[in-house]
Amino acid sequence: MAQFREIKPSELTENPFNLIGDEWMLIGAVKPDGSFNMMTASWGMVGIMWGSPALNCLVRNTRYTFEFTEASPRAAFSFFGDSCRNQLSLLGSKSGREIDKMRSSGLTPVTDNGAVWFDEARLVIIGRKLYAHNVAPGEFTVPDLCAKVYPKRDFHRIYTYEIEKVLIK
């Protein structure tokens, strides 16, 4: 396994807008039977929830990864800088239901306690699932936004993970 060192969430110096919005992340979780999947995501937040360092992410229930985030009490959020952009595009455009994405990416999966990431990552955030809820169209306070971001009404499930571990190279 590549040389990661563990740091405290408070030691992260990343700009969260660039980190998630531009760099993208892989969300990876493992089912109790040991199978796993990852997908690319560029919507999410890091901060403090209920007094703990936390990460929120959004997963549509049509994603294969959804089965894994639902089944696992943990997930990993891995970041790759500019490297692996092609692989992140693949993992964000093909479903693990269609192809063996984990193998065709050519990257090296590492599983740990319900979370999975690729060893080639530069940064890995491992989280414990605290809370999940489905986006409810009636809860938008700006009605136009719902129609704009969900024209097909394929609403996300929003997960809150407590950040348990941060690994960095």
Q: Which residues bind ligand FMN (CB under 6 A)?
A: 24, 37, 39-43, 58-60, 63-65, 89, 92-97, 101, 156
Residue ranges in the chain assigned as alpha helix (H): 16, 64-71, 85-91, 101-104, 143-149
Closest C-alpha to 71, from 34, 108, 112, 103: 34
8 vs 104 by CB, closer to ligand FMN: 104
Which of residues 74 and 156 has its CB atom nearest to ligand FMN in the complex? Answer: 156
Residues of 60-96 as b/e, b for ≥16 C-beta within 10 angstroms? eeebebbbbbeebebbbbbbbeeebeebbebbeebeb
Nearest distance from C-beta of residue 61 to ligand FMN, angstroms = 9
Residue 65 CB, nearest approach to ligand FMN (Å):
3
Closest approach of ligand FMN to the CB of residue 51, in Å = 25
Q: Which residues pair with 15 in a beta bridge?
A: none
64/140 with CB nearer ligand FMN: 64
CB nearer ligand FMN, residue 83 or residue 89: 89
Biggest CA–CA distance in the chain, Å, is: 48
Q: How far is the CB of 6 from ligand FMN (least distance, A)?
A: 26
